[in-house]
Structure formats: C-alpha cells, structure tokens
Amino acid sequence: MRLKDKRALVTGGSRGIGKAIVFELAANGCNVVFTYRSSAEAAKKIEEEADKFGVKIFGFQADAANFLEAEKTVNFTLEKLGGLDILVNNAGITKDNLLLRMSEDDFDKVIAANLKSVFNYTKASVKPMVGQRYGKIVNVSSVVALIGNPGQANYVASKAGVIGFTKSVAKELASRNINVNAVAPGYISTDMTEKLNDKQKEAIINLIPVKRIGTPEDVAKVVTFLASSDSDYLTGQVIPVDGGMAM
C-alpha cells in the first residue's frame, strides 16, 4: 500500500494500459479519477470493479485535447478527492498511414490527442501541486519515439514530443519537489495489438529479447513505481518498458 491515501488523475483510463494503471494505483491504496472519451458504460464498470480496493474511484468524461475540459477534470478531482498528488498522462490515439498518404487532419488529431493533452493536463495540475510542494507526473510515451516506425510519423512525432516535454518540465518543477518522468512502452497486448495476425505477432516477438509481447500490467507497475516515494530521486527520465527491444 505504498500509495495509501494519495490522490491521482489518470487520462485515458477506461481501457488497455490506462485501465491497468487505474487498478494498479488503486491496489496500492490510491484514490483515482480517470478520464474517458466516449464509453460511459466501460467507465462505470471500472468504478464498480474498483470497489474491491476500498478506495475512491471516479470516471470523468473529457476530451484530453481540450484545455478547458482538462481544467474541469482537475477541478472535479480536487472536489472529489480533496487534492491531487499524482498525474498520469496516458490518453492517446493512432491514425497510422504512410507519410505520402497521411492527411493533415490525421496528423493534427494525433498531435492534439497525444501531445497537446500532456500540456493541457500538466498545466492544469501543476498549480495545486506547487501549492502543496509535492507532485508526481508520469507521461506515457512509446518505444517508437526512441527508434521510429514506418507508417507512424504522426504518432512517433507526438510521443517524441512527450519525451522532450517531460525533460523540460522536470527541470522547471524540480525545485518545487515535483518529479516528472516518462515510460516508453514497447509492444503491449491491447486492443490495437490484438488486431495483428499470428505471423505479424511472431515477427514482433522476434524483435524482443525477452521473447514475449508485454502486458498492460507490466507498464502499470512501472508507472506506480514512478508515482511512489520510491522514485523520489528520479526526474526527467524515460524508462522503456519494452522487453529490451530498444536497447
């Protein structure tokens, strides 16, 4: 229970990695508000499932790319939880295509959802954290931000931007006792990777030294470490959770 009575906000927390992060934080005693874009039913189910942890869990519908909605989410969190200690910027989308076929709209939407959202929620969350002189911010980037990936110029650009943002804000906030770090997941078993056929999965596994695709829980455990006091001497760091793929 290393996060007992802490208060967290997780964006994009209704499925995949985000959902695993919500549950892992809750299992460690943390009260959590999570955002979702459209599935109120999925959000309600998470609230019900999380009852077993004996903590407060609230879903909040918001568009992470909209700054005003980010402010509303933070205000909701402060109202429901009484404060904010941990922010996990996990919200993101993909709109993959080769550069020559990629539309300007698809590029802009991915940058807004994956990178501007990190700005939105970090800016909205920093004020209460600065006031209490404590905070943990964990940004979810991607291993492709470190190595590139054909057909994902928009996604890779957004996730590489998250790394640069992480390092810059870490330097700004270190003197206020606020740690800012990032995780860079590799191939993780989510809705997106489940669409791959067996041949595609085998090709991916051959690129991973530990010879398996990761789980959302693999990522959630590292996020929880970064959200805890165990990481007090880490800031501005990017931790790949990729089975050794990018080393």
CB 218 within 8 A of CB 188: yes
Phi-psi region of 133 (alpha: psi -120 to 50; beta: other; left: phi over 0): left
* 194-227 core/surface letters (b: 16 or more CB in 10 A; e: else): eeeeeeeeeebeeebeeeebbebebbbebbbbbb
**187 counts as catalytic:** no
Catalytic residue among 121, 134, 155, 187: 155
The span from the CA of 55 to the CA of 241, in Å, is 27
**Which residues are known to be catalytic?**
155
